[in-house]
Structure 1
Amino acid sequence: MASRLDHYPLPPIEDLYTIMTGDCTFTKLDMGNAYLQLELDKSSWKYVMINMHKGLYKLQFGASSACTVYQYVMENILRGLPRVTVYLDDCAWGRPPPAAAAPAGEGSPRLICKPSALARHLAQSCGSFGREPRLVWGGWPRLHTLYNGLWPAAGELRLAREHLQMADGGLVALDWALGEREAPPARAPVLLLVPHAGGRLTRHASGLCRLALRRGYRPVLFNRRLHNGVPLTSRRLLPLGDPSDLREALRYIRHQHPAAQLLAASEGSGSALLLSYLGECGSSSHLTAAACISPIFSFQDWLQAGPFRLYRWLLLLQQKINLSRYATVLGEIIDTEKLFRSCTLRELEEVLFCQSKINNLSWASYWEKNDPLRDVDEVAVPLLCICSNDDPCRGNPEVTLPFELFETNPYFFLLLTKHGGHCGFLTSRSSSWSHEALLEYFKSVSEFFRAEERTKNQCRRKISMTSYKRRGEATHKKESVCSHNIHEIFNWQRSYTR
């Protein structure tokens, strides 16, 4: 009888060393009879249980899943303990010198993630991660939210629009932000921004584009079908959980800018589209790194409960205005009368995608296909999520933030602040702390990958020289490495993310 193999990953030794870097004293514990201490479900007893004179031991050494099951159990027991590492039945604890153990300030952001070399690099190199943001209107999260979401931006952002036709005839648009100076160089990193579900260019998104231009990025806004003035040329509308249009847009950008790094950021409810893309594409993604500002993780619950009343009403109104321009054409596939009578975001979503003449799905079946976190285990790109505890749109962080995901998946990083609202984080009326933290994160990730690339090149050279001496060859070939190939550089973590 073969057992079902559990694919829970074992951590690389390099990551365990990284957690203990800087420690001066260590304690190590070795668990006795490790696997034999675990109990299994009764359905598995007849396959692995052995009978001994001291009792019944339910998990044998040699079972195919024993090591991964034990690693999962130990990591969950010791989760949250600082500077503690575990590898199967060995547990180690390191203690830093007294000067290195100073706690962060009470109001500083918390970086919640699984310990890794990249996580340690981010904590050391991103200064904004360890400083308390000095926000205006700190105790008024709704004021942050409404000001950045509704108030017009200071000055007009120059945009150059490019329409892309999809395979089914539908159109999406890329709005390239233009600076006042000359065009950025060909190798300037491209920053794709996915707006919120309403599709309108907000003060928040405009401010991020302006700052990115000043920092040498090439920002571009992704506009979905029917959003932000994009004409409707196909009767097919895509939900936020379908990333097919975003995938084609990124392929086009990669073709147009082959030498540039591709980065992506999203705001608010637009994060559902970015999360769906990262999960669906996995290691085939064209992105080097991604970030979400005030993301909505449980989109189904968010549509059912909804944000606070004013924000919900404005988002619903924006959606109806976009759809009203093509009411006659849409009337052929959906009940437009019921659509424009809808009073909640859930009713609008159901009429568009569950009760149309093309699709007839239940609410539960619809979310099985469109949940943003449905393929979260396949994400293979570093993703930073910037959130605040007082976000009035997302709700209670203890319920709406998947802390376990950030603590167990090495690709997910949560930067949690005490205040900031929803896509707010205003340090003045024209600047946002989240923009600074996001661009600092992208810069730090790029530096980390370049350092890893140099290390790999040195190892290759040593191996090549060794082969040269052994074989007595006169020449040897030097491999070329693409500077933005994240999957080759990052594969030291791939071994424990599948």
Structure 2
Amino acid sequence: MKVIWEFFFCLTPSMLLFSVAMLYRSKWICRLVEEGTRKLTQGIWIIICSLLKLLQPSVLYATGDQDAKIKLIYKPTALANYVIQNCKALAYAPLAEWPKADPHLQFFFNFIWPIEEDAQGHCGITFTRDHLLIQDGGIVALDWAVRIKDQDAQAKREYYPGERAPGCHTSTPPIIILIPNALGKITQNLLSLCGLALQQGFYPVVFHRRGYGGCPLATPRYQEFGDPSDLVQAVLYIQSRHPSSVLFAVSEGSGSGLLLSYLGERGSSSYLVAAACISPVFHGQQFFETPFPKLYHEAALYYRKLQLSRYATALSSVMDIKEIFSCRSLQDMEKSMFCSVRLLDISQKDTLDQGMELRPIQTNWAGYWERNEPLRDADEIAVPVLCLCSTDDPLLPSASTLPISIFQNSPYFFLALTSQGSHCGFLQQDPLNNASWSHEAVLEYFQVVTEFFTVEERKCFMEGFVGWDIAQGIRHKTGTMAHRRRRPTMLRRERPVLGSQRQLSSHSRLVTFEEQETFTWNRSYTR
């Protein structure tokens, strides 16, 4: 009897392993184990986030599988109806499941995870840089994404009959101006957008503010949060260099403060055909005054001080550098840089021509945001703007603070609100598709808007042609030429005068630019 029990105990491990192996052959057992492991890992991650003080009430239970439907908010117009009917990406978002969908993991790998300092080696993209000399002596940089090293990735893919082929593989491709966040940090997703745009036939260019992205600080002056003066001259230069290409613009995160300010200031005189904001900051003052997770705040504060330290000596004449480096919040740092003492704006040429010296002037926090709020001139925006937001954004205030009334009343604003996507993330579940859903939606949106304007221009031309023919009557066979001369006025863009250019090197050059603007443009396609 003792021998029998010993034999049984010897076989127990083997029998146990055999039983487990048989159970794993059952699909429902595999799903049960997989789901249990997933839930256990998710619970551990929630505890870790709680210890790091990363969780917010609005995103506490938003890390599981979410409904991929998109809430669209817009004013019904001809343009809006055309976009909704033809932009397939805005109908459904195949967003990822947990853990790929976790808002903090997406934010970490996009903003905090380091990338190579040489962006040309990342994502296989080759950039060439232009340095643009601004009127006040400052310098901004334009990084042109010229090619992808992987020729197979750059090759055009096949499309099914009737499917929209994005982009435009022509000698005059549409240009997309990419505006990084207010810290000037080049992120993983921004480089991915460059790569996807190149694959689809667009010509991406990254705009770097003065002092950011390796761009030299030629004057002791940083660009304020919503000051679009440098971007205005950069867009004019791009349009002058590529007068036959249509222009688009995309901003990432807090970079929307610059893009929306530009659109509001330029109004109907903007050279852009359409624009898009990914996880935009609509209220700049609220963004700085609303606390967000301490880990992210400390990382952003350290990164900005690190950038400023490069020019500490030069800026000491106009800023209190010691006070700035002792700041413990982004709000205090913004106040110290722009709200204590600053130079008189050099753009006031009348004062300079009179030989008067620059003198320091005082400003306060409220006055700073009166001239820098992104939506201060929202009523003047006359370019279609697509805004992609997520309710689980860990960096921005809650979705209840979104300016819904603007999207409901303005014919130029479109809001796509998803339940997940983090901050500028919007990753997809498909492991074979590394592109963000927001990037695919933006590029398709640009294509659809371009198609709509093309159809409307053709329609306006045909209506004008027929109307003139009826009014004159068919009297002479030569009337056709008169009809052509009397065609309705279309989109007219007068090119600004471009100054001389100096070649610095094979990959970087400095361009002097003088703005001479007589441009007017009234668009009436949002009836």
- TM bucket (normalised to shorter chain) is 0.7 to 0.9
Task: Work out which of the residue numbers 178, 194, 201 in structure 1 matches 2:146.
Answer: 178
Q: State the distance in 2 between where 1:465 and 1:287 align.
A: 34
1:117 counterpart residue number: 78
1:290 counterpart residue number: 275
Displacement of 1:311 after TM fit? 1.9
Q: Is the partner of 2:254 in helix, strand or coil?
A: helix
How far does the alpha carbon of each residue in 1:382-418 deviate from its partner, in whole angstroms, 9 at most, with x for none? Answer: 000000011111121012x111111111100000001
> Larger RCO: Structure 1 or Structure 2 (Cα < 8 Å, ≥ 6 residues apart)?
2
Q: Does 1:237 align with 2:241?
A: no
Q: Is the partner of 2:141 in helix, strand or coil?
A: strand
Displacement of 1:353 after TM fit? 0.7
Query: Is contact 1:162-1:173 (8 Å) kept?
Result: yes
Query: Is contact 2:492-2:521 (8 Å) kept?
Result: no
Q: Which amino acid counterpart does residue 88 of structure 2 have in structure 1?
A: G
Q: State the distance in 1 between where 2:305 and 2:488 align.
A: 52
Q: 1:453 to 1:366 in 2, by over 3 A?
A: same
Matches within 5 A, 1:102-251: 107-136=68-97, 137=99, 140-152=102-114, 155-180=123-148, 185-251=170-236
Q: Does 1:438 align with 2:442?
A: yes
Q: Is the partner of 2:144 in helix, strand or coil?
A: strand
Query: Is contact 2:292-2:395 (8 Å) kept?
Result: yes
Q: Is the partner of 1:167 in helix, strand or coil?
A: coil
Q: State the distance in 2 between where 1:218 and 1:357 align.
A: 37
Q: 1:148 to 1:477 in 2, by over 3 A?
A: same
Query: Is contact 1:141-1:392 (8 Å) kept?
Result: yes
Q: Does 1:493 align with 2:526?
A: yes
- Per mean C-alpha deviation after superposition, the further-off stretch among 250-259 and 458-467 is 458-467
Q: Is the partner of 2:280 in helix, strand or coil?
A: coil
Q: Which amino acid counterpart does residue 418 of structure 1 have in structure 2?
A: S
Displacement of 1:492 after TM fit? 4.3
Displacement of 1:145 after TM fit? 1.3
Q: Is the partner of 1:205 in helix, strand or coil?
A: helix
Q: Which amino acid counterpart does residue 372 of structure 1 have in structure 2?
A: P
Q: Which amino acid counterpart does residue 431 of structure 1 have in structure 2?
A: A
Q: State the distance in 2 between where 1:421 and 1:484 align.
A: 40
Displacement of 1:139 after TM fit? 5.2
Displacement of 1:134 after TM fit? 2.7
Q: State the distance in 2 between where 1:331 and 1:403 align.
A: 42
Displacement of 1:152 after TM fit? 4.7
State how many pairs are aligned.
389
Task: Work out which of the residue numbers 372, 375, 388 in structure 2 matches 1:373.
Answer: 375
TM-score, normalized by length of structure 2?
A: 0.70
Q: Does 1:383 align with 2:385?
A: yes
The structure with more radius of gyration = 2
Q: State the distance in 2 between where 1:283 and 1:303 align.
A: 30
Displacement of 1:470 after TM fit? 7.1
Q: State the distance in 2 between where 1:231 and 1:184 align.
A: 34
Matches within 5 A, 1:46-85: none
RMSD: 2.4
Q: Is the partner of 2:140 in helix, strand or coil?
A: strand
Q: Does 1:474 align with 2:478?
A: yes
Query: Is contact 1:243-1:277 (8 Å) kept?
Result: yes
How far does the alpha carbon of each residue in 1:101-154 deviate from its partner, in whole angstroms, 9 at most, with x for none? Answer: xxxx95311111011111111111111111132314365211111112233566
Q: State the distance in 1 between where 2:490 and 2:303 align.
A: 43
Q: Which amino acid counterpart does residue 446 of structure 1 have in structure 2?
A: T
Q: Is the partner of 1:265 in helix, strand or coil?
A: strand
How far does the alpha carbon of each residue in 1:252-271 deviate from its partner, in whole angstroms, 9 at most, with x for none? Answer: 00001111100000000000
Q: State the distance in 1 between where 2:81 and 2:492 align.
A: 21
Q: Which amino acid counterpart does residue 376 of structure 2 have in structure 1?
A: R
Q: 1:203 to 1:492 in 2, by over 3 A?
A: closer
State, as a whole percentage, how many aligned pairs show the same letter. Answer: 42
How far does the alpha carbon of each residue in 1:400-449 deviate from its partner, in whole angstroms, 9 at most, with x for none? Answer: x1111111111000000010000011115732111011111111111111
Q: State the distance in 2 between where 1:134 and 1:365 align.
A: 41
How far does the alpha carbon of each residue in 1:209-260 deviate from its partner, in whole angstroms, 9 at most, with x for none? Answer: 0000000000000000100111111112220211000000000000011111
1:397 counterpart residue number: 399
- Per mean C-alpha deviation after superposition, the further-off stretch among 273-282 and 107-116 is 107-116
Matches within 5 A, 1:294-443: 294-358=279-343, 359-399=361-401, 401-427=402-428, 430-443=434-447
TM-score, normalized by length of structure 1?
A: 0.74
Q: State the distance in 1 between where 2:185 and 2:418 align.
A: 26
Q: Is the partner of 1:339 in helix, strand or coil?
A: helix
Query: Is contact 1:354-1:362 (8 Å) kept?
Result: yes
Query: Is contact 2:268-2:522 (8 Å) kept?
Result: no
Q: Which amino acid counterpart does residue 281 of structure 2 have in structure 1?
A: I
Q: Which amino acid counterpart does residue 368 of structure 2 have in structure 1?
A: Y
2:460 counterpart residue number: 456
- Per mean C-alpha deviation after superposition, the further-off stretch among 383-392 and 120-129 is 120-129
Q: 1:236 to 1:106 in 2, by over 3 A?
A: closer
Displacement of 1:482 after TM fit? 6.0
Displacement of 1:472 after TM fit? 5.6
2:352 counterpart residue number: none
Q: State the distance in 2 between where 1:403 and 1:327 align.
A: 41
Q: Is the partner of 1:422 in helix, strand or coil?
A: coil
Q: State the distance in 1 between where 2:521 and 2:140 align.
A: 31
- Per mean C-alpha deviation after superposition, the further-off stretch among 237-246 and 306-315 is 306-315
Q: Which amino acid counterpart does residue 111 of structure 2 have in structure 1?
A: G
Q: State the distance in 2 between where 1:484 and 1:164 align.
A: 26
- Per mean C-alpha deviation after superposition, the further-off stretch among 314-323 and 223-232 is 314-323
Query: Is contact 1:452-1:489 (8 Å) kept?
Result: no
Task: Work out which of the residue numbers 241, 255, 266 in structure 1 matches 2:251.
Answer: 266
Gaps of 5+ in 1: 1-104
Q: Which amino acid counterpart does residue 151 of structure 1 have in structure 2?
A: W
Q: State the distance in 2 between where 1:259 and 1:279 align.
A: 24
Q: Which amino acid counterpart does residue 524 of structure 2 have in structure 1?
A: N
Query: Is contact 1:449-1:489 (8 Å) kept?
Result: no
Displacement of 1:305 after TM fit? 1.6
Q: 1:380 to 1:337 in 2, by over 3 A?
A: same
